[in-house]
Amino acid sequence: MKKIWSSLKPYLHWVILGGTLFFLAKAFKDHWREVAGIRIDATGWAMLVIALVVTLLAHTWSGWVWIWILRAFKQPVGQLWALQVYLKTNIAKYLPGNVWHYYGRISAVTRAGGSLGAASISVLLEPLLMAAAALAIALASSGLGLVATASAPGTWGLQILGLSVVLLGVHPRILNPVIQQLSRSKKNVTNTGTLKIEYYPLLPLLGEMGFLGLRGTGFLFTLMALVSINPAQIPQLLSAFSFAWLMGLIVPGAPGGLGIFEATAIALLNQQFSAGLLLTAVALFRMVSILAEVTAAGLAVASERF
């Protein structure tokens, strides 16, 4: 069984990506007339500009959170330098494999005199804290989780369980033994023998919640460029966004969550908005996100010259 899984694993991400793109292509085929009929007025373009600014702030803020994680491991790196590295490497997540942004950060930290083990653990801890933040927001913003528990109580329970596992997993009493075990099993690779985290990473966790909050706000402004939103809808929209973003983070085969986020968001919100509007909204949000990441990387490169 293990051999079969090993032989199939390299093709899994292609199967997932192919299935997701097929879903999106079919949705567009069925609703292209509605998409073509959507128009954005001057107010809508202003909303998109706000969405871009908020998303740019979100990625910059996420860079500062990564700096806090490096500080927890007492790494000798400058704050501005680390922020520049984070923003420059962020766009590499769209390369096949979805790991090159992590590789770039690890390489940069080690070249600057930091520990290979600390850099490796920092890029592992960051997505864990992001996942916990996404689950927490999805649960808190809707009060009862992603969907009403009366119709799917198991979904709510799984979210609570997942959040609990991640929150416990990053506790120093659990994380430090894992780091030490990694040091013994792969000492020559990670060199983590002297590494440990001295306190619960509450500040980085709260920071990642701020990041997801800003990203969700950017999504709301993108949606508002196309349709009016009732304030009563905002909690459920943030919940759906957080869960869709989480799926894009954890599902393999989707560089930068490309396709997975869009398909999940459409599936979650199709009872509130038309399919054509959702297709347009997620496409615009992806464009806003990429433009914000490219702008942030460009600003990071430009700031190195001053």
pLDDT, one tens digit per residue, over 127-158 is 999 999 998 888 887 664 444 433 345 566 77
Q: Tokens at residue 26, please?
A: 């079919």
For the ranges 55-64, 145-154, 210-219, the lowest mean pLDDT is seen at 145-154
Kind and range of the H or E run holding 125: helix 116-142
Tokens of 140: 């808190």
Is residue 123 within 8 Å of residue 217, measured between CB atoms? no
pLDDT band at 21 (very low <50, low <70, confident <90, very high): low
The number of C-alpha atoms within 13 Å of 43 and in the hemisphere containing its C-beta is 6
Question: How do the domains of the chain map onto residue ranges?
Answer: 14-303
Cα separations in angstroms, 271 against 101, 207, 217, 278: 36, 32, 21, 11
Residue 293 has which token pair? 């990441």
3-state secondary structure of 186: coil
**Whole-angstrom distance, CA of residue 256 vs CA of residue 290:** 10
What number is the average pLDDT over the span 286-294?
93
Tens digits of per-residue pLDDT, 224-260?
999 999 988 898 899 899 989 998 888 876 777 778 8
pLDDT at 216 over 80: yes
What pTM did the predictor assign?
A: 0.86
Confidence category of residue 96, pLDDT binned at 50, 70, 90:
confident
Q: Distance between CA 38 and CA 222 in Å, rounded?
A: 14
- Higher per-residue pLDDT: 120 or 159: 120
Tokens 């085969």, located at residue: 253
Cα separation, 239 vs 261, whole angstroms: 13
